[in-house]
Amino acid sequence: MKLAADFRAFTKAGRALGELHVGYERVPEYAARVEGPDKPTPTQLRVENMKFGKGKDKSVIHYNAYFAVREIPRPTSASAVP
């Protein structure tokens, strides 16, 4: 009995994960602000180490020396990144 209940729980979770994977384009975009060059070069798009803002500020992600994403809503970063 326990194995069947576990299987159903994993099946349900798998279906939900599949829907997120397939339907991600239907989710409304967050109003985060991207800062960076208008016409970046391939070198400027390279990422070696992304970082959050100073201290525990997870409302900013520094993509590299040229790009930053700011005003990330707190619930988004809290649920996606430990």
Tens-place pLDDT, residues 34-77: 999 999 999 999 998 999 999 888 899 999 999 999 998 876 54
Are 18 and 54 a contacting pair, CB within 8 Å? no
Indicate the number of domains in the chain: 1
C-alpha radius of gyration, the chain, whole number: 18
Q: What is the domain extent for residue 14?
A: 2-80
Give the tokens for residue 43. 């070198």
Residue 21 has pLDDT above 80, yes or no: yes
Residue 78 has pLDDT above 60, yes or no: no
Are 17 and 9 a contacting pair, CB within 8 Å? no
pTM beyond 0.75: no
Write down the pLDDT at residue 31: 83
Residue 80 has pLDDT above 60, yes or no: no
Q: Where are the alpha helices (DSSP H) in 1-82?
A: 2-22, 42-45, 74-80
The 8-class DSSP code of residue 26 comes to: G
